Structure 1
Amino acid sequence: MKNYLFFIYFIFIIACTEQQSNLKVLQGNAIGTTYTIKYLDSTGTNFELKIDSIIKAVNTSTSTYIQNSDISKINRGDTTVVVDAIFEEVFKKSEKIYRETAGDFDPTVGILVNAWGFGPGAKINNLDSLKIDSLLTFVGFNKVNLLNNKVSKLYPEIYFDFNAIGKGYLVDIVARQFEAANIENYMVEIGGEIRVRGKNEHGEFWKIAIENPNEDGTRSFATVIQLKDEAMATSGNYRKYRTTEDGKKYVHTINAKTGYATESNLLSASVISKGDCADVDGYATAFMAMGLDKSIAFIKQHTELKVFLIYANENGEIKTFASANFDN
């Protein structure tokens, strides 16, 4: 029996060693952030060139920070642009989430993102209610259309900004490359948005930590979860914000209905789904615009989503909310 157990243990050690030796790790920069990709592969396939090509294609289609990208041309009023499959998929996903969230997720908020100083466009100083109301005329995904691969806008000033869904979408496109190559175990993380399949090099489900909303630069974790063939995205306003001279704090999530960038009691939203990472990326952004109460009401109606919210109560204490199906 001892020899038998030793043999089993020996085989287990060999299997673990083989799995670890097959672990590949890729790291780099993309769309203004960093990425870490891990996958198990015994074939020696080099995915770096493919990933570089994907990043370039997504930037060329949807990056507002590239002057000659399709989205930048469209934002400048060019009606002759024939968009590619990347732009079309991002547009249609955005349209779907816009409708489901009754406009709380709205990528036409770009003109306000620029005005508040969070985008590539010119910032407007001393924004007042009259100016914001005038800019809101050019916000609304119901004012744009995509037909025969061309975008039409009710107003030429309408400005697309797909950043709230872009990282998740890039995660999906990279992940599809692994699945096309029959890679069964992988983890793709780009700027904190994640999609996983299978298990890690230790034969365990991929473990992902959800950070606490620390504003002092330190890092701590609210919880650690296991993802099982799922995608996860987190949105928060506790790091990306501006403070004016009079002490007012403006966050990067713009409310597409009010036009303001003011902070709510919801500090962080993490969304998990079996679906695409682009979708949960969009929902996480929408929750930050909705605030706590409206987000909870939405979550209870959409049980396909697992959600973990971090918020401040009326006494300023940090609290959490987890959807009924959330398990860690």
Structure 2
Amino acid sequence: MTSGKMKPARVVIISAFWALVMAALAGCSFQDEEKIWEISGGIFGTTYHINVVLPEDEARLQTLAQGIEQTLNEVDGAMSTWKKDSELSRLNSKKDQSQWTELSPALFEVIQRAQEISAMTDGAFDVTIGPVVNLWGFGPQARREQSPSEAELAEVMAVTGWEYLELDEQVRAIRSTEPQYIDLSGIAKGYGVDAVARYLDQEGVEAYLVEIGGEVRTRGKKPGGEVWRLAVEEPAEEASQGRQVNKIVALVDQAMATSGDYRNYYESQGQRYSHTIDPDTGKPISHKLASVTVLADDCMTADALATAFNVMGYERAASLATRENIPAYFIVRGDNGFETHQTPAFSSYVVQ
């Protein structure tokens, strides 16, 4: 999880359901008309865009913008590996982790869910893989000029593994026989989406779309009763190709997350290395799955499952998703371009 330079949250109107004539005929106040407002800013090294459906009320919108910013800063302060003073960084810096360490409710919730996803995916999702991620040059340290040696990988892999982590739900505490460096980048952004959604629920916002770095959660519908429509991006092998839509899905009260190997990578000595590391091998993934999109009730789960499925590759991931009735959409590199596949649970959400 990264934390880039913050941009002050701003509020803009992005669309409106104009019904002035109807409101006048019904004797309603134009002040009560609901519109879609966007609150945006920067966090986790990316951007966020939150659409809320509300009547025009500048004071309330500014209050929401401040609350959203505070909520995200609290998540970042708990879970960032880029901030040395974050709660997670303090935990990672402990040389002896064999004693119980109490965690904040938020950090415990995320690590607990991560462990559940690890068990479900046979370790394809593993938050202890951070040292290996760093070894390949995708962490807070400077990027390597060459890939790590087999000996370097073996040394780090020998002391990492999600099974080392032990949780005590009664007191929200963690310990590990081997000191671990926990990296929540595959789940914390999704949790940030959920945290904002909970905040908006508490503030009485009945319809919204929360998006942070491409991870999304929706509630209610747009003015006029239209559902939220979201695009699944077409993978692009070159940044110059721009972004194109592969599929459109309609969501109500659900979350969506996508994981792919086509944007975050680097090249060294003619070899391309994906930022997604397979915890089983300690090496970047090299299969033909280019992108996987997962739907779930909460974004934390969607985020972690998308990451795990991206590690597993199409065949293993599709088998698990189908068995567990998980809505998932796969874009796979074929001999003649991209091929798309979806689980039965995903098909009902597709509108285009």
Contact kept in structure 1, 2:147 and 2:268, CA below 8 Å: no
TM-score of the pair, normalised by structure 2 = 0.84
Q: Alignment length, in residue pairs?
A: 315
Of 221, 226, 230 in structure 1, the residue corresponding to residue 254 of structure 2 is 230
Matched position secondary structure for 2:88: helix
Matched-pair contact (CA < 8 Å) for 1:19–1:202: no
Q: What's 1:270 paired with?
A: 293
Once the two structures are TM-superposed, the CA of residue 319 in structure 1 deviates from its matched residue by: 0.4
Deviation at 1:228, TM superposition (A): 1.5
Q: Is the 8 A contact 1:272 1:280 kept in 2?
A: yes
Q: Is the 8 A contact 2:194 2:217 kept in 1?
A: yes
CA distance in 1, matches of 2:121, 2:23: 49
Whole-angstrom CA distance in 2 between matches of 1:178 and 1:260: 40
Equivalent residue, structure 2, for 1:37: 50
Q: Name the CA distance, whole Å, in 2 between partners of 1:206 and 1:229.
A: 9
The yes-or-no answer on 1:120 pairing with 2:140 is yes
Query: Any conservation in 1 of the 2:34–2:56 contact (CA below 8 Å)?
Result: no
The 3-state SS of whatever aligns with 2:40 is strand
What is the CA–CA distance in structure 2 between the aligned matches of 1:200 and 1:316, rounded to whole Å?
Answer: 39
Q: Which amino acid aligns with 2:229?
A: K
Higher strand share: 2
Structure 1: distance between partners of 2:43 and 2:121: 28
Of residues 121-130 and 186-195 in structure 1, the stretch that sits farther from structure 2 once superposed is: 121-130
User: Residues 154 and 121 of structure 1: is their aligned pair in 2 closer, same or farther, counting only changes over 3 Å?
Assistant: farther
Cα distance change on mapping 1:42 and 1:69 into 2, 3 Å: same
**1:9 CA drift (Å):** 11
Deviation, 1:149, is 3.6
**Cα drift, residue 27 of structure 1:** 0.6
What RMSD in Å do the two structures reach over aligned CA positions? Answer: 2.2
Unaligned stretches of 5+ residues in structure 2? 1-18
Report if the CA contact (8 A) 1:270-1:307 is conserved. Answer: yes
Match of 2:193 among 171, 191, 194: 171
Residue number in structure 1 paired with 2:273: 250
Supply the AA of the counterpart residue of 2:79: T
Matches of 2:227 and 2:73, distance apart in 1: 31
The equivalent of 2:306 in structure 1 is 284
Could you tell which deviates more after superposition, 32-41 or 76-85?
A: 76-85
Deviations along 1:302-321, whole A, 9 cap, x unmatched?
Answer: 11x211110112x2521000
Other structure's SS at 2:127 match: coil
Give the 5 Å matches for 1:206-221.
206-217=228-239, 218-221=242-245
Q: Is the 8 A contact 1:249 1:263 kept in 2?
A: no
Q: Secondary structure at the match of 2:258?
A: strand
- The residue aligned with 1:138 is 159
